[in-house]
Structure 1
Amino acid sequence: MRAGLRVDVDTYRGTKQGVPRLCRLLSQHGVKASFFFSVGPDNMGRHLFRLLRPQFLGKMLRTKASNLYGWDILIRGTLWPGPMIGKRLGNVIRATRDEGHEIGLHAWDHHGWQAGMDDMDGRTVSNSLQRGIKTLTAITGRAPSCSAVPGWKCNDLVVEEKGRLPFAYNSDCRGDSIFYPVVEGKTIPQPQIPVTLPTYDELIGRNQVSDRNYNQVLLDLFRPNQLNVLTIHAEVEGMACFDLFGRFLEEARLKGI
Structure 2
Amino acid sequence: MTGTKVCIRIDIDTVKDTQVLPVVLEILDQFNARATFFVTTGPDMTFKNYRNYRNPLKLLQKKAIMQHGLKQMFRGMVYKQQVQKSKNLQLILEKDHELGLHGYSHYEWMNTLQKKSKEEIREWISKGCELFEDACGFGPRSFASPGFATSNEFLEALDGFRFDYSSDFRGTEAFYPEHDSYRSSTLQLPVCARSFGELEFEGRSQEEIYHIIKNGLDTAQHFFVFYMHPSYEPILNRDLLIKVLDHIISSNDLEIITMHQLAKHIKRRGLPENPANI
TM-score band, normalised by shorter chain: 0.7 to 0.9
- Number of aligned pairs? 247
Q: Tell me the SS of whatever aligns to 2:223.
A: coil
* CA displacement 1:101-143 (0-9 Å, x = unmatched): 1111112211111122122222321121111111111222221
- Structure 2's unaligned 5+ residue stretches are 255-278
Q: CA-atom RMSD, angstroms?
A: 2.2
Give the distance between the partners of 1:15 and 1:115, measured in 2 at CA: 22
Give the distance between the partners of 2:120 and 2:234, measured in 1 at CA: 32
Q: Tell me the SS of whatever aligns to 1:221.
A: helix
Q: CA 1:61 to 1:253, structure 2 compared with 1: closer, same or farther past 3 Å? A: same
Percent identity (aligned) = 22
Give the distance between the partners of 1:205 and 1:212, measured in 2 at CA: 14
Counterpart among 115, 139, 142 of residue 138 in structure 2: 142
1:53 paired residue number: none
Counterpart among 238, 249, 256 of residue 253 in structure 1: 249
Counterpart among 11, 24, 41 of residue 22 in structure 1: 24
Counterpart among 9, 12, 33 of residue 9 in structure 1: 12
- Structure 1's unaligned 5+ residue stretches are 51-55
Counterpart AA for 1:86: Q
1:72 paired residue number: 71
Counterpart among 42, 48, 53 of residue 46 in structure 1: 48
2:214 paired residue number: 219
Counterpart among 236, 248, 255 of residue 240 in structure 1: 236
Query: Does residue 1:106 correspond to 2:108, yes or no?
Result: no
More off after superposition, 2-11 vs 112-121: 112-121
2:36 paired residue number: 34
Give the distance between the partners of 2:201 and 2:130, measured in 1 at CA: 39
Counterpart among 92, 106, 128 of residue 124 in structure 2: 128
Decide whether the 8 Å contact of 2:197 with 2:232 is kept in 1. no
1:73: Cα distance to partner?
4.8
Q: CA 1:199 to 1:49, structure 2 compared with 1: closer, same or farther past 3 Å? A: closer
TM-score by length of 2: 0.80
Give the distance between the partners of 2:82 and 2:36, measured in 1 at CA: 22
More off after superposition, 32-41 vs 215-224: 215-224
* CA displacement 1:48-81 (0-9 Å, x = unmatched): 345xxxxx6338756332234332355553x424
1:167: Cα distance to partner?
0.7
- Map residues 80-95 of structure 1 onto 2, 5 A cutoff: 80-87=78-85, 89=86, 91-95=87-91
